[in-house]
């Protein structure tokens, strides 16, 4: 039986899992969850993820939530298929984990706050909070300064090949590049080259048509 992913293709966290499945050339079924109709808050969905969020992965008797836990599971289960997204020597695996943690604890909080204000809040018919945007752009700029230096030494964050540490950045960066602040990436040559590489990968080209929220411009 193929793995089932519950979610919708336009949610960044779902797209993170779909990217991983495509990189691993693994068959799966996407089971649509209508967030606008709050189907992720129904008891049937909460029985899979008590936090009421997508994505959820079902693989036979295993149910997982949290997109990064799901990508780690897929990458390990299918380590001999498709792109090698992790490393198996202890020290190299530790470096992949390190940069995955950087994404989760430094990059994601800043970029997701900006995306929330500039893309999600307007969709709810409300006005973005400019102070939250400014504060998080500043934090994001500092994270990208670290990336600029790192990517001057290695082609990808965890070394010279693409891993989960890079993949986890893709969906939110895609949405960020639709805002009026893409200069934060484009003005840093190493980060720009990295991003252009990430978004030219075949797996990304399969997932990006689903990332269809109306672009923000400020
Ligand atoms: N840390 C979780 C975050 C999941 C998450 O925020 N999912 C969003 C879509 S990207 C969602 O379900 N939002 C609806 C809600 O929170 O009610 C993960 O990485 O899976």
**Where are the domains positioned within the chain?**
3-77, 90-205
pTM of the model: 0.96
Tell me which residue has its CA closest to atom 1 in ligand 1. Answer: 66
Site to substitute for ligand 1 among 54, 164, 211, most atoms within 8 A of C-beta: 54
Question: For residue 218, what pLDDT is reported?
Answer: 45
Share of the chain above pLDDT 90, in %: 92
Tell me which residue has its CA closest to atom 16 in ligand 1. Answer: 53
CB 82 within 8 A of CB 146: no
pLDDT in tens, 72-118: 999 999 999 999 999 888 999 999 999 999 999 999 999 999 999 99
Tokens describing residue 203: 């797996």
Question: For residue 216, what pLDDT is reported?
Answer: 44
**69 in helix, strand or coil?**
helix
d(CA 195, CA 191): 6
Region class of 52: left (phi > 0), else alpha (psi between -120 and 50), else beta: left
Helices (H), ranges, 63-188: 67-77, 90-102, 108-115, 121-123, 130-150, 164-167, 170-176, 183-186
Task: Match domain 90-205 to its CATH number in 1.20.120.450, 3.40.50.2300, 1.20.1050.10, 1.10.579.10.
Answer: 1.20.1050.10
Tokens describing residue 57: 């992965």
| 116-129 mean pLDDT | 94
Average pLDDT, rounded, for the chain: 95
Q: Tell me if the domain spanning 3-77 has CATH number 3.40.30.10.
A: yes
Place of tokens 């940069």: 99
Place of tokens 């204000």: 117
Q: Exposed, middle or buried by CB within 10 Å (0-12, 13-18, 19+), for 170?
A: buried
CA of 195 to the centre of ligand 1 (A): 23
CB 108 within 8 A of CB 67: no
Q: Which residues pair with 3 in a beta bridge?
A: 28
CA of 36 to the centre of ligand 1 (A): 13
């Amino acid at each position: 039986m193929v793995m089932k992913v519950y979610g919708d293709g336009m949610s960044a966290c779902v797209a993170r899992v779909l990217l991983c499945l495509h990189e691993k050339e693994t068959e799966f079924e996407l089971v649509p969850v209508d967030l606008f109709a709050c189907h992720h808050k129904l008891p049937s969905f909460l029985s899979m993820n008590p936090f009421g969020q997508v994505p959820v992965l079902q693989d036979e008797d295993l149910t997982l939530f949290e997109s990064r836990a799901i990508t780690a599971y897929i990458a390990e289960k299918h380590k001999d298929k498709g792109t090698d997204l992790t490393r198996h020597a202890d020290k190299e695996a530790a470096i992949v984990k390190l940069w995955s943690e950087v994404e989760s604890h430094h990059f994601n909080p800043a970029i997701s706050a900006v995306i929330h204000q500039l893309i999600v809040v307007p969709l709810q018919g409300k006005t973005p909070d400019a102070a939250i945007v400014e504060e998080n752009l500043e934090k994001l700029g500092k994270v990208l300064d670290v990336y600029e230096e790192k990517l001057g030494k290695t082609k990808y964050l965890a070394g010279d090949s693409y891993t989960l540490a890079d993949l986890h950045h893709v969906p939110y960066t895609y949405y960020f590049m639709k805002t009026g602040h893409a200069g934060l990436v484009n003005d840093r040559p190493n980060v720009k080259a990295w991003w252009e590489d990430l978004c030219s990968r075949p797996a990304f080209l399969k997932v990006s048509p689903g990332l269809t929220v109306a672009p923000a411009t400020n």
